[in-house]
Amino acid sequence: MAKVGFVGLGVMGGGIARRLLDAGHELAGWNRTKEKAAPLVEAGMTWCDSPREVADRSGVVFTMVTNVAALEAVTGGPDGIVAGLGPGKVYVDMSTVSPAASRELAERVRAAGAEMLDAPVSGSVATLEQGKLSVMVGGDAATFERVEPILHDIGPTVTRVGENGQAVLVKIAHNLQLAVQMLAFSEGVLLAEKGGIAREVAVEVFTSSAIASPMVKYRGPFVLEQPDEAWFDVNMMQKDMLYALEAGRQLDVPLPTTAITNEYLTAARGLGLERQDFAALFDVLAQLAGVEKVRD
C-alpha cells in the first residue's frame, strides 16, 4: 500500500479518492471546498490545509480539477503541489486540460526532481461506482510501471498511450465523440417523438439497440430527466470541444461534427443551461423542433 495524495475532490475526484481508500492506501487530501471532503475524512482520509501539504505527505499525488486555471492554482506558488514535490515522488494529473499545458507542467515537475504522468479517465459516475473506469496514461514508461498498480485500483483498464501530453490528447479525442453521439441521439429521439412516438418509448428502444454505446445507455435517459447534479456539464464539455478544435487546427484534421456540436453547446449556454449535464443538447434541439415538453 502507498502513501497517496489527492487534490480536487469533486464528483469524480472524490469517487476516485474513495476507491483508493477502499483499496487500503493511506490517503491525504485537499479540496477548495472543504465540506465536500467531509465524507472522505470520516472514511479515513487525512485532511491537509494546502495542496503542498498533500504533496509533502505523499509519494504519489493525484489531481482532478476542471481546467488549466484550476490546475495552475493547485500546482503553482509556495502552497502548490510542485513546491512539495522532490526526488522519488510521482505526480499524476487526471484533469482534462490542453496537451501543451500538461507538457509544460511536466517540465516544471521534472525540474523539482519528480516525475509526472497525465492520466485522464474514460467513464461516468455510474462507471466509477461499478469499478469500470478506464485510464489512459501519458509519460515516462518506467514511471508508469511504478504507478500502474495504484491506477488499477482506480479502474481495470489502464493503458499507456505515449509521452506527456498524449493521454490528454486522447481524452480530448474521446470526449468530442461523447458530445457528437449525444447530439445524434437527441435528433433520433425528437424525430420519433414528433412522429407520435412517446419519448420514453424512443429512449427505451434506442438504449436497447445496436446504437446503444455505453454512453448512450447511461446518458440517454437524461433526455427524460436531468440528474440532480450534472455529471459533466455544458461548460466543461465545451471546454473540451474547444481543445479538440484547436488540436484539429494544429494537426490539420477537419472536425466538422465537432464544430457543429460545439455551436449547439453555445446555444445551450445562451438558454441558461450551462450548469446542466451536456445532455442538455436535447433541450436545444427540442426548442428548435417546437416540442413543448422541455425539461426543467
> Model confidence over 14-27: pLDDT tens digits?
999 999 999 999 99
Q: What is the CATH number of the domain that holds 103?
A: 3.40.50.720
Q: What gap in Å lies between CA 165 and CA 139, rounded to an integer?
A: 8
Q: Does the residue 294 lie in any domain?
A: no
Q: Does the residue 114 lie in any domain?
A: yes
Of 136, 162, 188, the one marking the end of a domain is: 162
**Listed residue (28, 13, 3, 189) closest to 95, CA to CA:** 13
Residues 26, 137 within the same domain = yes
pLDDT tens-place string over residues 93-115: 999 999 999 999 999 999 999 99
Neighbour count for residue 78 (Cβ, 10 Å): 9
Q: Does the residue 109 lie in any domain?
A: yes
Q: What gap in Å lies between CA 154 and CA 159, rounded to an integer?
A: 13
Q: What gap in Å lies between CA 62 and CA 55, rounded to an integer?
A: 9
Neighbour count for residue 218 (Cβ, 10 Å): 18
Q: Which residue has the cell 487525512?
A: 46
Q: Which residues pair with 26 in a beta bridge?
A: 3
Residues 152, 174 within the same domain = no
pLDDT tens-place values along the chain, 296 residues long? 789 999 999 989 999 999 999 999 999 999 999 999 999 999 999 999 999 999 999 999 999 999 999 999 999 999 999 999 999 999 999 999 999 999 999 999 999 999 999 999 998 887 888 888 999 999 999 999 999 999 999 999 999 999 999 999 999 999 999 999 999 999 999 999 999 999 999 999 999 999 999 899 989 999 999 888 888 999 999 999 999 999 999 999 999 999 999 999 999 999 999 999 999 999 999 999 999 755 54
